[in-house]
Structure 1
């Protein structure tokens, strides 16, 4: 009984060792590979993100709001169809335009980007009018300044010539000192020739 059991056990072990199912399984890391997180579009749409997903390069998982806004206005199928019809060099600009238009449509459902463009054009026209008004005021100020300078120059040319300065008091004193001896000579001769010194009584 024991030998049979041993033989049967040995046979079973030999059989198990020769069966292909008994080969060692590879490590789980080799079977599964690297796990890549899905893009924001596939995550929101709840689908498997393929290796060559059209939306993955433009809607990263770190910015889900970007796809949410575009998907809300245009829809995922329209976005995918648009990107597939464009070359890769133009897809990034197209996604930026879609997101911008979607934001504008959410703020202004009627006009969208056209409303924002009209508002900006209105501001440009107002600023241009204000600039033209300021430039006209500057020209007017320059004209007034030029007229004022011309008037001042005209008045300066019509003024009379300046008067000669008064003589110095020193020259007056010198003239007085020079003229005094001559006048004294006249008076002394008068006193010598006249008999005014005769006594009045006899």
Structure 2
């Protein structure tokens, strides 16, 4: 495509959108045909109203062939944005998107702060639970004056079970199965 000629208009059955709007005969060398197909009259109509057909053609002639499709797409986008918002055009869209990004960044910062707070609370609760368990273990394994260790735990087979007889007010119930 470095030859400088526009890409062939694939499947063009009639005049391009530019030639239809301008009511002229579309030739094989039509500068606008590759960028404004006959099926999309509105795109060229908006671009023509905003920029003018002569300015579009002049701009496309002044830039390298490989940039023309992007330039035509950009002009079409700007023209459509200008038709929707005559005052700001695509600048209004950019401003709106920047505001949306700022709002989302603030929302993300709030969510990250909430997550950090939850992690801190979780760490504090974990430390508190460990401290309480350690205190409870120290209290249950404390040696009394006579040298015996009062413990509500009965150790069997490397596991421990709560022996209710050492708990005040404990009433032993008969087993469910005999």
Aligned to 1:161: 140
User: TM-score of the superposition, structure 1-length normalised?
Assistant: 0.61
Larger RCO of the pair (alpha carbons < 8 Å, separation 6+): 2
Aligned to 1:50: 27
Aligned to 2:69: 92
The secondary structure found in structure 1 opposite 2:128 is helix
2:103 pairs with 113, 122, 126, which one? 126
Q: Are 2:138 and 1:145 aligned? A: no
Residues 44-69 of structure 1, C-alpha deviations (whole Å, 9 max, x = no match)? 11112222110111111122112111
The secondary structure found in structure 2 opposite 1:56 is coil
Q: Are 2:18 and 1:41 aligned? A: yes
User: How many angstroms does 1:127 deviate by?
Assistant: 0.3
Residues 68-111 of structure 1, C-alpha deviations (whole Å, 9 max, x = no match)? 11111111111111111112111110010001000111111111
2:51 pairs with 74, 85, 88, which one? 74
User: TM-score of the superposition, structure 2-length normalised?
Assistant: 0.69
Which one has a bigger Cα radius of gyration?
1
User: How many angstroms does 1:138 deviate by?
Assistant: 0.6
Residues 13-43 of structure 1, C-alpha deviations (whole Å, 9 max, x = no match)? xxxxxxxxxxxxxxxxxxxxxxx62211111
Structure 1 residue ranges (4+ consecutive) displaced by more than 3 angstroms after TM superposition:
none
Gaps of 5+ in 1: 1-35, 167-202
Decide which structure has greater strand share: 2
Distance 1:144 1:60 in 2: 62
The secondary structure found in structure 2 opposite 1:38 is coil
Calculate the aligned-residue CA RMSD, in Å. 1.9
Number of residue pairs matched? 132
Residues 110-142 of structure 1, C-alpha deviations (whole Å, 9 max, x = no match)? 111111101000000000000000000111111
